[in-house]
Amino acid sequence: MDAIREAHQDTPLVVPGQLPMPGTKEMDVRGEMLIYRENDRSTGIIRALSKGNHLYPASLTRWWYANERISVPFTPEMKERTLQRFLHYASIHIGVVEVV
């Protein structure tokens, strides 16, 4: 068994259909929000564990530009693309996630 573990120890995880998410992803301290940062902007989506593991797309509304202290609303296409990226990230790092 140890030989098998050693043989596959450095094998990178390959995820079929992986969506590019070039920025950094993180979860807040309490695990209630997933945060995505790229270049000079960030956005987040609410995660709740009551009655399951859920992401709330209604909370995904804007890009926040911290340097300029402004927020810009998502277009419907950008919201859907960002939601899919969050779902992909969550499925790998959190497990099964439902959208409500």
Chain mean pLDDT for the chain: 81
| Percentage of residues in the chain having pLDDT higher than 90 | 38
The pLDDT of residue 99: 87
pLDDT digits (tens, 9 = 90+) for 46-92: 998 877 788 999 999 999 999 999 999 999 999 998 998 888 888 88
Q: Please, which pLDDT band fits residue 4 given cuts at 50, 70 and 90?
A: low
Is-above-0.85 flag for pTM?
no
Domain that holds residue 69: 2-99
| Number of independent structural domains in the chain | 1
pLDDT digits (tens, 9 = 90+) for 13-45: 444 455 566 788 888 888 889 999 988 999 999
The pLDDT of residue 42: 95
Q: Sign of the C-alpha dihedral, residues 72, 78, 83, 85?
A: negative
